[in-house]
Amino acid sequence: MVSVLLIWVYLFITTFFCGAAFFCILSGKERSDTSLKLLQPEDHCFFGIMLSTVYAQIFSLFYKVGLAADILLLILTAAAVFFLIRSGRLKSSLFGFPSGRKKRLSAAALICFLVLIVSYGTSRGYFHYDSNLYHGQSIRWIEEFGVVKGLALLHVRLGYNSSSFALSALYSFSFLGIRSFHTVQGFLALLLLIKCLRVFHIFSDKEIRISDFARLGGFYYIFNVYDELVAPASDYFTMIAFIFCMIKALDIYEQCEKDKSLCSEESYVFPALLCVFIPTLKLSAAPAVILILVPVYMLIKNKKAQRLLFYAGLSLIISLPLFIRNYLLSGRLLYPSTALDLFDPAWKVPAGVTNLDAEFIAAFGKGYNYAEAAHYPFSQWFPHWLSTLGKSDLIIVIICLTSILILPLSIALRKAFKVLHMIELTAISAFLFWLIASPLVRYGMGFLLLLPPLMFGDLADILIKKSPKSRSVGSLIRRCFPVLLILFLSYKCFATVKYICSCLDAPYYLLQRDYDDFDCYTVDIDGLDVYMPLEGNQTGYYCFPGTPEMVEGLHLAGDDLKEGFILR
């Protein structure tokens, strides 16, 4: 737990200052003060997380992500601090932190309490199966070699290439020789929790917003995965980032509705860039990019072609490292997919293997254990999939499908298509894409938990503000929401406290729980010892390099492992 806290201090320093400085530079001198009014400290940290991830991916293209990467990151952070102090924007970067000594002390005390609670969950818990299957191996390859050509030939899942693995490697401190720490997913959960706790404004300003309903989904997700935050799973990175981004977009929309002077294309740059970043964590979150249409439309409408090209270039910088790494790892720009099949390098994963891998993922998500099921028609697999769901998951799915109908109703009642509806369309598209592609609940839990409160929050907002005939309903919502919020949080907190008490004896107060160990044997590939599990398909982090099965014809491309693998 102490190790988690120490790494989080480093995480906060590097992400907050780099995020705040970059956003100030991005906004420009004339717009930065206005733009910063729309951001809170946790937003700067999240923006910094995005920058650190892009940085780690680019660094991995040239060298291993270890001590040298962290030294350069510290130099960049020092430059960011110098810029903020010199430009006088450090204080404005803290906008959103309460004013007044008593409020600041109360907020600081609450944050410290949250840090302890979330770090406790990040230090122990249940390890995600895939983290011992390939997440740990992916992170270690980045720590020791950066990117290696043809790595997906050794183990197809090493070609999945979530940008979260590069981020985890950057903050793993494996170069210390103690162990490879995995704390970033917990830090992201902390940022989302802080963002969600801003819901308590309802007790001071007596106003209920749509974003407050969406925050319920954020709370629900964090409580759901609290006992698994110890695992560096790409699903958690993706879902937390998506929920955070949607809540922030709602916050900006509501602030712009209250103060029209804040509303411009610059206002939505922050969530738009995050939406470009989110699919690099997991390609299944690709519909998140729909939200970038908001600032794009505004820029085109206001005839700001240069600014549009600038943000297009920035989006390319955020996403391009993913495609380059994909190409180097698997020989394909998108893996596991044969789309955009533009190159034919020696380390390319065969089309048959790629398609089989993609089919199995789709079939597994639909409740089958064989690849052929990926081609079943909707009328066949959908009823089967519903039958595999637990009662609570089934209810949530039904509510999600029902809530989609609120979108056309909201457009009709508000008599215009607003930015709010684009946010809702993004959430709906993400949910539907998950449902059709590979609807394993774990893959899309964030979509499931965000969509209903977002859509019904929109309906509640209409009932409160728009319809004279339903003032009594609006009044009822105002009175009931705070009560339901307290009851919901009390119930979830009680369950979390029970879990916390159940693992008090676990020896993780100093060092975080490590990756699991597995019994493996070695096979020889051109003089290289490769580990294979005696049972199952997990090799963990320490049996390195590891693979669940040996591919026929696999060879080293050269004398140096850095040169990668090829098939002969």
Question: What pLDDT, on a 0 to 100 scale, did the predictor assign at position 539?
Answer: 94
Q: What is the mean pLDDT of residues 405-411?
A: 96
Average pLDDT of the residues of the chain = 92
Q: Is the CA virtual torsion 106, 111, 117, 123 positive or negative?
A: negative
Q: What is the pLDDT of residues 463-495, one digit of tens each?
A: 888 665 556 777 788 889 999 999 999 999 999
Lookup result for tokens 């923006």: 47
Q: What is the mean pLDDT of residues 446-473?
A: 85
Asked whether 46 and 191 are in contact (CB, 8 A), the reply is yes
pLDDT tier at 123, thresholds 50, 70, 90:
very high
Q: What is the pLDDT of residues 340-360, one digit of tens each?
A: 888 899 999 999 999 999 999
Residue ranges per structural domain of the chain: 2-349, 520-567
Determine the 3-state secondary structure of 546 from DSSP.
strand
Q: What is the pLDDT of residues 47-70, one digit of tens each?
A: 999 999 999 999 999 999 999 999
Determine the 3-state secondary structure of 347 from DSSP.
coil
Tell me which of 351-355, 367-371, 401-405, 548-552 is least confident: 548-552
Alpha helices in 229-268 (DSSP H): 234-258
Question: What pLDDT, on a 0 to 100 scale, did the predictor assign at position 35?
Answer: 61
pTM: predicted TM-score of the whole model, two decimal places: 0.96
Question: What pLDDT, on a 0 to 100 scale, did the predictor assign at position 555?
Answer: 93
Task: Tell me which residue of 211, 291, 306, 219 sits closest to 251, measured CA to CA.
Answer: 211
Q: What is the pLDDT of residues 192-227, one digit of tens each?
A: 999 999 999 898 888 899 999 999 999 999 999 999
Q: What is the mean pLDDT of residues 90-101?
A: 65
Lookup result for tokens 């780099």: 18
Q: CA-CA distance, 23 to 41, in Å (whole number)?
A: 12
